[in-house]
Amino acid sequence: MIISVASGKGGTGKTTIAVNLALSLGDVQFLDCDVEEPNAHIFLKPRLTDERRIFVPVPEIDESKCTYCGKCREVCAFNAIAVLGGTGPGGGSVLVFPHLCHGCGACSIFCPEKAIKEIGREIGMVESGIRDGMGFVHGRLNVGEAMSPPLIRKVKERADSARTVIIDAPPGISCPVITAVEGSDFCLLVTEPTPFGLNDLVLAAGMLRELKIPFAVAVNRDGIGDGKVDDYCAGEKIPILMRIPFSKEIAGAYSRGEPAVSLFPELAGQFRDLFSRIRTVSGSS
Amino acid sequence: MKKIAVVSGKGGTGKTVVAASFAALPGSKVMVDCDVDAADLHLLLHPEVKERHEFRGGSTAVIDRGLCRQCGKCSAVCRFKAVKSGPRVERFFCEGCGLCARLCPYGAISMGETVSGEWFVSDTRRGPFVHARLGVAQGNSGRLVAQIRRAAERIAAEEKLEYVVIDGPPGIGCPVIASLSGVDCALVVTEPTLSGLHDARRVMETAAHFAIPVKLAVNKYDLNPEMSGEIEDFCRENGIQFAGRISFDPAVVEALSAGQTIIDSGNRTVGDEIRKIWELLIR
């Protein structure tokens, strides 16, 4: 079973819940798909045993064959290629903007002179390892790199279907999040009881409905703010599977990179209960 | 016109609370909410929408079943696994490259422009505000950010406003790069946690990559004063200007729940701390 932990708003406690759930269950695989800002390793401290650089395809132009016909520019939907002047070999120039390239392959397929081949451009790294019995994989996007989905897909390719897989997703509701949660059997949306938390929960719920992924809510920092998240969930019949009260002790443990269940072992039972509830509401018990 | 972006790397550190407070502090400005995925600034600025615009973020393949002969070419060439058997297009995965449409031997695929959100120019009692709503499960947030920033900068130029204040998204990817591009200064708001520092470092490296000057403030610093000290040390050692500390105060969430900025709520402690940061930014 693949369980993803997501939220519209950042900083609501996705990593806290994903990490503590994983530690309470023990025999799981953890995939940190927040490749822009991967944090789970701070808490899980896995022994990393494998590191792979990840590449995306970008065009390389062989200007000895190029006739500057402009076909590559014409078929590129992302304005990643510019062709300047020229008629014969060496008469003009072709500029490739690798950061705009989505790697669709259209330019090399349509080049009439077969002057384009695709080369790999590194966008980041997938690292994996273990912590006790737990499998751990995360991605780390290179600084300055705009597109995280190809790297997120590489992290997810490592999912072990024989195990319970827990995915820590990035915040938001667009491409990176969709890439991370797609294919999950269940998604837990973490929110906080504030107007910001509610506004972004509504957006994230809309995204999961579109993706047809069953979901429920966990309320973190319960006790701050107001009761409107509860009212919304009641009105929409979205189950609230867990509440973690706001506590300076839990916040303190988080700040030092210590998982709450290491400090308060009694919490592990609550996270195992959360897992049973997830199995019940997702119909996979 | 001075452009200031508020970013954080890690989500939930208080970017929007800080940016909304800046709106209530002296200086003429246009506010822009560039966290188009999870836009929240409107909850504190109470905009009155004056203009609505559609955001066309790209295109999606559309298959004409009448012309399709089920040859399977489209799904074979798609590198984004967006054309499933049937064939049908999974719009969440279609990046709009158009390769399938160009290669379909029966001309059964066309590219349809997608409306992937809306953006707004609004009035608030603090001045103009540009914001957006990305459609459910849409991509291209970076392009939407670039579009609303252009609109805000045009307003600032026309109305001769002193500042463009950008409330940025979390992370370091495409919408963050679009939020940082060409600004005069980025304020990184972080929290005194290991994750906060780890993520702030990544976004500061991103800003450095694009040669954007950075200042850093620690929000809720008293939740872990020791870690706050470490973050200040980090700034000192790396030549990053430390812009100030903001206290943890339940009054911040109370003001937020009442739809108020902390400045309007009359809270002096946090209000004054944010005011000092603003004065440093505009000095």
pLDDT digits (tens, 9 = 90+) for A55-85: 999 999 998 999 999 999 999 999 999 998 7
Is B257's CB within 8 Å of A194's CB?
Answer: yes
Contact yes or no for B37 and A36 at CB 8 A: no
Predicted confidence at residue A76, as pLDDT, reads 97
The C-alpha atoms of residue B48 and residue B37 are separated, in whole angstroms, by 21
How large is the average pLDDT for residues A21-40? 97
Question: Distance from A181 to chain B by nearest Cα, in Å?
Answer: 11
Q: Return the pLDDT at A89.
A: 65
Q: What is the rounded CA–CA span in Å between residue B185 and residue B199?
A: 18
Plot region of B156 (φ>0 → left; ψ -120 to 50 → alpha; else → beta): alpha
Q: What is the pLDDT of residues A97-137, one digit of tens each?
A: 998 999 999 999 999 999 999 999 999 999 999 999 999 99
The answer to whether B188 touches B215, Cβ cutoff 8 Å, is yes
CA distance B172 to chain A (A): 6
Find the residue in A nearest to B79 (Cα).
A104
**Does residue A86 surpass a pLDDT of 90?**
no
Residues of chain B with pLDDT under 50: none
Measured between CA atoms, how close is A247 to chain B, in angstroms?
Answer: 11
Distances (CA, A) of B147 to A44, A221, B144, B186: 40, 35, 5, 19
List chain A residues with CB under 8 Å of B139. 174-175, 178
Task: Please list, residue by residue across A92-105, b when 16 or more beta carbons sit within 10 angstroms of its beta carbon and e when fewer do.
Answer: bebebeeeebbbbb
The interface pTM score, or ipTM, of the predicted complex is 0.94
Shortest distance between the Cα of A207 and any Cα of chain B, in A, equals 5
The CATH code of domain B2-46+125-282 reads: 3.40.50.300
Nearest to B137 among A37, A173, A200 (CB): A173
Predicted pLDDT at A88:
66
- A-B CB pairs within 8 A amount to 190
Best interface-test mutation with B: which of A17, A154, A175, A220 has the largest number of B CBs within 10 A? A175
Write out pLDDT tens, residues A133-191.
999 999 999 999 999 999 999 999 999 999 999 999 999 998 999 999 999 999 999 99
Q: Which residues lie closer than 8 Å to B266 by C-beta, 6 or more apart?
A: none
End-to-end CA distance of chain B: 13
Judged by CB atoms closer than 8 Å, whether chains meet at B206 and A144 is answered as yes
Who among B43, B140, B196 is closest to A196 (CB)?
B43
Quote the minimal CA–CA distance from A49 to chain B in Å: 21
**Minimum Cα–Cα distance from A248: chain B residue:** B223
Disruptive mutation site among A35, A36, A140, A215 for chain B (greatest number of B CBs within 10 Å):
A36
Smallest CA-to-CA distance from A89 within A69, A105, A107 is with A69
Q: Which of B161, B224, B176 is nearest to B196 (CA)?
A: B224
Contact A104 B95 (CB under 8 A): yes
Q: What is the C-alpha radius of gyration for chain A, rounded to an integer number of angstroms?
A: 23
Q: Please, are residues A65 and A89 in contact by the beta-carbon 8 Å criterion? A: yes
Mutant choice from B60, B174, B197 vs A, greatest count of A C-beta within 10 A: B174
Report the pLDDT averaged over residues A10-32.
97
**Topology annotation, domain A2-54+126-281:** Rossmann fold (3.40.50)
- In chain B, residues 36-95 whose CB comes closer than 8 Å to chain A: 36-40, 43, 58-59, 77, 79-80, 92-93, 95
Tokens representing B212 are: 């954007």
d(CA B264, CA B230): 32
Q: Do B37 and A172 touch (CB under 8 A)?
A: yes
Look at B12 and A11 and tell me if their CB atoms are within 8 Å.
yes
| A63-114 classified as CATH 3.40.50.300 | no
Fold category of B59-115 in CATH: Alpha-Beta Plaits (3.30.70)
Domain boundaries, chain A: 2-54+126-281, 63-114
What is the distance between the alpha carbons of residues B137 and B116, in angstroms, rounded to a whole number? Answer: 9
CATH code 3.30.70.20 region(s) in chain B: 59-115
> How confident is the model at residue B16, as a pLDDT?
98
